C-alpha cells in the first residue's frame, strides 16, 4: 500500500500513526502543499478534492481520513483498533463522526487564527473570532472530558481509530494556543496518545513547519 501525505497534515499524522501501530508496510509520497502540488492534474485524478491523505491499495484509491483509518484497521485484521461487532464499530464511528462535525472545526478556528494566518503572512489573529470560539471549545472539550473520566481511551480500555481521529488536530494545540489545560482527563488522554512511539514518530514533521509567507 502507498499513501500520499504531507507531514504537517494532522490527518496524515493519524494515518501514519496507525500504520506504525499495526506494523503495516506503507510507502509514502509527499505532496508539497505549500507549492500547491495538490492542485496538479495528476493528483486531482487520484483525489478530486485536492486533499491529503490518499491511500492507494492496488487499483483502489481511497480518500477521506476516517475511511482510510477504518480500511487500514480492517485490512490488517486489527479488531482492537476498529471492532467488528456492531455496537463496538458503531461506537468508534460515532466518535469519529462527532470529531468531523464538531471537534475538528472548532480546533481549526484556533489553528488558523493563532498559527496559519501568521505562517501565510495574513496578519495577526482576529481576537473577536477567537473569543467567540471559546465557549464552543469549552463545551465540546467538556463532552470529551466526561467521556474520558472513567476510561483511558475514548471507547474503552484500548486505543482505537477514534482516538487517532480526535487527537489529530491536537498536534497543533501548543503552537495554536488551544486552551485545554482545565480539562484534566482530556489532557492526560492527549499525553498518553502523543507518548505512544508510533504517534510521536508520525507527528515529527508537524513541528518543522516552514515559516514562509505565501
| CATH code at position 21 | 3.40.30.10
Average pLDDT in the 175-184 region? 96
- Say if residue 208's pLDDT is above 80: no
Average pLDDT in the 160-169 region? 98
72 with 103, same domain?
no
Confidence of residue 212 (pLDDT cuts 50, 70, 90): very low
- Say if residue 119's pLDDT is above 70: yes
Contact of 66 with 165, CB cutoff 8 Å: yes
Percent of the chain, pLDDT > 90? 90
Give the closest residue to 143 by CA, choosing from 102, 171, 178, 181. 102
Predicted local distance difference test score (pLDDT) of residue 62: 98
- Structural domain containing residue 57: 2-80
- Say if residue 207's pLDDT is above 70: no
What is the dihedral angle through the alpha carbons of 73, 200, 193, 54, rounded to the nearest 10 degrees? -40
Distance CA 98, CA 166 (A): 9
96 with 189, same domain?
yes
| H-helix or E-strand spanning residue 108 | helix 104-111
- Say if residue 211's pLDDT is above 60: no
Distance CA 37, CA 43 (A): 7
Give the closest residue to 170 by CA, choosing from 202, 131, 139, 130. 202
Domain count, the chain: 2
| Domain termination site, one of 36, 52, 80 | 80
Amino acid at each position: 500500500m502507498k499513501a500520499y501525505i504531507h507531514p504537517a497534515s494532522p490527518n496524515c499524522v493519524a494515518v501514519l500513526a496507525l500504520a506504525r501501530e499495526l506494523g503495516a508496510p506503507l510507502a509514502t509520497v509527499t505532496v508539497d502543499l505549500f507549492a500547491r502540488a495538490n492542485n496538479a492534474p495528476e493528483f486531482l485524478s487520484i483525489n478530486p478534492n485536492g486533499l491529503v491523505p490518499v491511500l492507494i491499495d492496488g487499483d483502489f484509491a481511497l480518500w477521506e481520513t476516517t475511511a482510510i483509518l477504518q480500511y487500514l484497521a480492517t485490512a490488517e485484521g486489527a479488531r482492537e483498533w476498529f471492532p467488528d461487532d456492531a455496537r463496538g464499530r458503531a461506537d468508534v464511528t460515532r466518535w469519529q463522526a462527532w470529531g468531523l462535525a464538531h471537534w475538528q472545526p472548532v480546533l481549526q478556528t484556533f489553528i488558523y487564527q493563532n498559527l496559519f494566518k501568521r505562517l501565510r503572512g495574513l496578519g495577526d489573529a482576529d481576537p473577536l473570532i477567537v473569543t467567540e470560539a471559546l465557549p464552543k471549545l469549552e463545551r465540546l472539550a467538556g463532552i470529551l472530558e466526561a467521556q474520558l473520566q472513567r476510561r483511558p481511551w475514548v471507547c474503552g480500555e484500548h486505543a482505537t481509530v477514534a482516538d487517532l481521529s480526535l487527537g489529530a488536530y491536537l498536534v497543533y494545540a501548543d503552537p495554536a494556543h488551544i486552551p485545554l489545560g482545565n480539562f484534566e482527563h482530556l489532557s492526560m488522554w492527549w499525553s498518553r496518545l502523543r507518548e505512544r512511539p508510533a504517534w510521536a514518530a508520525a507527528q515529527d514533521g508537524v513541528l518543522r513547519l516552514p515559516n514562509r509567507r505565501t
